[in-house]
Structure 1
Amino acid sequence: MQSVAEALDRLAGLAASPTVATLADAFRAAGFELALVGGPVRDAFLGRATNDLDFTTDATPDEILAVVKPVAEAHWDIGRAFGTIGAIVHGHTVEITTYRADAYDGSSRKPEVVFGTSLEDDLVRRDFTVNALALRLPERTLVDPSGGVEDLIARVLRTPSAPEVSFGDDPLRMMRAARFAAQLGFEVEPGTLAAMGALAPEIDRISAERVRDELSKLLCTGAASRGIRLLVDSGIAARVLPEVPALRLEIDEHHHHKDVYEHSLTVLDQAVDYEVSRGVLDSPDLVVRLAALLHDIGKPATRRLESGGAVSFHHHDMVGAKLARKRLRALRFDNDTIKAVSRLIELHLRFFGYTDGAWSDSAVRRYVRDAGDQLERLHILTRADVTTRNRRKADRLGFAYDDLEERVARLAEEEELAAVRPELDGQQIMEILGIRPGPVVGEAYRHLLEVRLDEGPIGPDAARERLLAWWAARGEA
């Protein structure tokens, strides 16, 4: 946290930058107000890097365009219906929005857009006091009508108006509270937290697409489990992602197993750590984080209390993958994300057979083939899934996975493992067997693929002999 003096110095430097200064001069010359607002001002106090430049003004969208066109390298108006015009000025992307005074009508899933005329009124309708800060330009005057600076210092999230009013206007702000708590490490003020619990059913008014986007932003923070915990404790997760609170299974005094809910949050934390430390994937990786959070959601449906105090969850991987597909479709995730997440959940237990006995090279090849382009993500998820407090067991699993990755790398180098396929393609199979296209070609191809997985590269001549032997065994030569 920067001191107020340091934050004002940072804001003064930002205001003097070519992008901000150019816009400030242009709007003043045209007779309009302009203020830097929200995240850039907040982040100046937090000492965080400023990535996006957001402005607000009393100019209408048409008037914003007229001011911006002469000074921008490019501009667009896809947010025009909501009062927002985007542009690139001196190489930086900016968004400029007309003062807003809109609210939900209590039943619609989208707000009715109403433009305002006052900066202070615009700030009061924003989500949290720490985001309801503005720097008037070109005067460089800090505007803070709701005590946002004090809340930044206290590291508290609070709504500018009564939380019941704010969340009633836009229930998605309750999910934003969880996201900002995770992103900034702030506590939610008790009255605001109580309102989240009381108004949790109101989240049903929000479209699946907006819920999806907010959940994705939360999961892509550095402390995603903190935000998920807030959603669960407030009852919001029960409305938008019910499979996660369902992980809080009742503990039978005679049957013992690890807390699946706490385990899942730990896996999420560890997956984020592995994702960052391995540095192979673009971080944050939403697929990894969704898979980590949801990997055990099949356990409640598959729990069985066994004799002797044991608890089993047979086939929870397959059941969980099915549940994940259903939930992610309901949240309108794209097909590629749904496919990747569900595949990782299907495969997340596969490795644990590796420690029961040494895998053959054939088993390693199948592991790689089944993971496909999700192999690196599967590495991360599998490692993150080890949450035992037994250090010897954790070390044994870690060393075993080190060994598996080394074997994958060695075989990949020797055999181009990432592109495992038979030495003969479909056209060659038809020519050798003298057959036309049809299901038999696929059967022959799969047979040769199994040979390839079992034995590694054998060369086209040996593959031809194996194909003819298979054909003869069918009695159709």
Structure 2
Amino acid sequence: MKVKKLPANASTALKIIKIVKNCGAEAYLIGGCVRDLYLGIEPKDYDVATSLPPDEILKLFPHSNETGKSFGVVRVNDQGEEVEVATFRLDGPYSDGRRPDYVTFSSLKEDISRRDFTINALALNPDTLEIIDYVGGIDDLENGIVRTVGLPEKRFQEDRLRLIRSIRFAHRLNFKIEDETGKALTRMAQEIKTVAMERVADEFQKILLTSPAGDGIKMLDRYGLLSPILPEIIRMKGVDQPEQFHPEGDVFIHTCLALNELKPNPTKAIVWATLFHDVGKPDTFMVTDRIRFHGHAERGAEMIFDIGKRLKLSNELIERVSKIILEHQRFGDIDKMRPGRIKNWVAQPHFEELLEVHRADCAGSHRDMSAYEKATEFLNEIRQLETMPPRIITGKTLIEIGLEPGPIFKELLTAAYEAQLEDSFTNKEEGIEFVKKFMNENRNC
């Protein structure tokens, strides 16, 4: 089996292979890049496998990163582009469930026999464009199957991150997981808890960033991996919602539908916020005249700090996700808001992320897009401005009229700016009059 041609972005890897082969060694493209080439997908990066030992690779490419040298891996840097070059190897025992205790250098066939999944265990000879397949990877690509190389339990025990990676590949490629691989995956699912959380979260995030993300979440759940990673999402199951707003079903079903409704190429904040936007509902469920979830946005915005820290997400990402969760219910009040308040709101940083989460939330439930459309109109109006107009009334202005700095300043400055955006005043004198009138009408100020 051959590929027709190699993309232009393979040039650095091909250059490395040519240099290695000129020394009389074998060298091939290997792994996921070959899989993608076979499927007609342009790889993002390329890996090389060779018979040349690491020390010899370093002699040819002296400015390489040799951090993985003890495992036979050297990262060759060529004009800012890095290519992983690995010596054919067999792995020793995996005492830590992540890396082999030692490696022995071997042949291409033996190297392929130790890899994770058949679809990733393909090599390509760049001179002939022929794909080398010792494990049935091409058949599995043709049939849309994710299957381990060899015994599933052994492959998963070697590196338990492969448990979630199997789901990621199946989700990304719209493949099925082979029966024996799936049975082992389900039996061993709880062992994902032994893997460093940042490694798990990185794979989880890749699933979320691949549309339709809700299907990825359901696949994680089907094979038992969602519960040990995010029990908070499992708690959404069976939490009923008022049918007039959520005819689709419980909170878990709604969340998966909302994730599936996201536009392509969402930001990290969008996918995490969509996943967690209703995470506070199980804690706030109550039945009065109907099912209600008073304060679920506030509860969810609070919960994400503990969840995010557990997942080792960045503080900046956690803050953004929390803010989106906190504000995702505000769209229900948009018809009651003055134009100035809406303009000030939509001009806030990352509002477009909040808007996309709201759109997916609606599309995954009642499908009433009126609030989304109104907010979009104001957002488009703001976009036409090169910048938002500077504030006429500032903190300095409030001090000038004899006010002491304190919590009151935020309320006064917000009210003044919203009034300014509505053209209620156009200069400082009129603005001061507005502030005085506002304070008289709101005696608690």
Same fold flag (TM > 0.5) = yes
**CA shift digits 1:450-473 (9 cap, x unpaired):** 222245353222334456778999
Return the offset for 1:223.
2.9
User: Hey, what does 2:42 align to over in structure 1?
Assistant: 49
Matched, 1:224 2:213: yes
**CA shift digits 1:103-148 (9 cap, x unpaired):** 6745556554535322222212212100001124657553322111
User: Hey, what does 1:280 align to over in structure 2?
Assistant: none
Matched, 1:398 2:378: no
Q: 1:90 and 1:323 mapped to 2: Cα distance?
A: 45
Change (3 A) 1:428 1:305: closer
2:77–2:83 CA contact under 8 A, matched in 1: yes
**CA shift digits 1:415-467 (9 cap, x unpaired):** 954x7x7424444544x2578xxx72563354233222245353222334456
User: Hey, what does 1:200 align to over in structure 2?
Assistant: 189
Change (3 A) 1:346 1:168: same
Q: Which runs of 5+ in 2 are unaligned?
A: none
Return the offset for 1:341.
1.1
Q: 1:472 and 1:100 mapped to 2: Cα distance?
A: 80
Which amino acid in structure 2 is aligned with residue 340 of structure 1? R
Matched, 1:311 2:304: no
Q: Helix, strand or coil: the match of 2:211?
A: coil
Q: Helix, strand or coil: the match of 1:56?
A: strand
**CA shift digits 1:314-362 (9 cap, x unpaired):** 21111112222211110101111111111111111111223xx453214
User: Hey, what does 2:150 align to over in structure 1?
Assistant: 161
TM-score calculated relative to the size of structure 2 = 0.86
1:57–1:96 CA contact under 8 A, matched in 2: yes
Return the offset for 1:413.
5.0
Q: 1:382 and 1:224 mapped to 2: Cα distance?
A: 16
Matched, 1:423 2:392: yes
Q: 1:381 and 1:405 mapped to 2: Cα distance?
A: 13
Q: Which runs of 5+ in 1 are unaligned?
A: 277-282
Query: By percentage of residues, which structure has more helix?
Result: 1
User: Hey, what does 2:345 align to over in structure 1?
Assistant: 367
User: Hey, what does 1:385 align to over in structure 2?
Assistant: 361
1:75–1:86 CA contact under 8 A, matched in 2: yes
Return the offset for 1:474.
12
1:107–1:205 CA contact under 8 A, matched in 2: no
Map 1:351-366 → 2, pairs under 5 A: 351-354=331-334, 357-365=335-343
User: Hey, what does 1:61 align to over in structure 2?
Assistant: 54
1:109–1:207 CA contact under 8 A, matched in 2: no
1:183–1:221 CA contact under 8 A, matched in 2: yes
Matched, 1:289 2:271: yes
Instruction: Provide the alpha-carbon RMSD of the alignment.
Output: 3.4
User: Hey, what does 1:462 align to over in structure 2?
Assistant: 430
1:30–1:67 CA contact under 8 A, matched in 2: no
The number of residue pairs the alignment matches comes to 437
Map 1:20-39 → 2, pairs under 5 A: 20-39=13-32
Map 1:187-336 → 2, pairs under 5 A: 187-249=176-238, 258-271=249-262, 273=263, 276=264, 283-306=265-288, 310-336=290-316
Q: 2:143 and 2:402 mapped to 1: Cα distance?
A: 79
User: Hey, what does 1:340 align to over in structure 2?
Assistant: 320
Matched, 1:410 2:381: yes
Q: 2:386 and 2:26 mapped to 1: Cα distance?
A: 65
Aligned partner of 1:451 among 408, 416, 431 = 416
Which amino acid in structure 2 is aligned with residue 238 of structure 1? S
Q: 2:284 and 2:38 mapped to 1: Cα distance?
A: 49
Return the offset for 1:388.
6.2
Q: Helix, strand or coil: the match of 1:35?
A: strand
Change (3 A) 1:311 1:469: closer
